[in-house]
Amino acid sequence: AQSVTQPDIHITVSEGASLELRCNYSYGATPYLFWYVQSPGQGLQLLLKYFSGDTLVQGIKGFEAEFKRSQSSFNLRKPSVHWSDAAEYFCAVGRYSGTYKYIFGTGTRLKVLA
């Protein structure tokens, strides 16, 4: 069965430090991959997505992610974290099964220390 794993439930970094959030997926074919960010009590905002081509994708707010087929990973990175990046981050896989469905990881909550 298809699945998405975000192994880190919580991550704390200092402002200005680099960030990497991990995401591993299980899917037979090359999936559509997404990262979303959610502020408390809000909906999910799309950060970036990968469908094909260049395996390093750039997103909004200075985030990037790299698709590594050999590792079944799609890790999210940011070189320098800002306090406003504190939120919950979700990795997702889109797959076709009669129609497009999206499977989400359980999320990683990011705390940023001043």
Partner 1 sequence: SQTIHQWPATLVQPVGSPLSLECTVEGTSNPNLYWYRQAAGRGLQLLFYSVGIGQISSEVPQNLSASRPQDRQFILSSKKLLLSDSGFYLCAWSVPHSSGNTIYFGEGSWLTVV
List residues near partner 1 by CB under 8 A: 9, 32, 34, 36, 41-46, 49, 51, 90, 92, 94, 99-107
Q: Are 55 and 68 in contact (CB under 8 A)?
A: yes
Cβ closer to partner 1: 62 or 94?
94
- The residue (of 55 and 80) whose beta carbon lies closer to partner 1 is 55
Least separation in angstroms between CB 41 and partner 1: 7
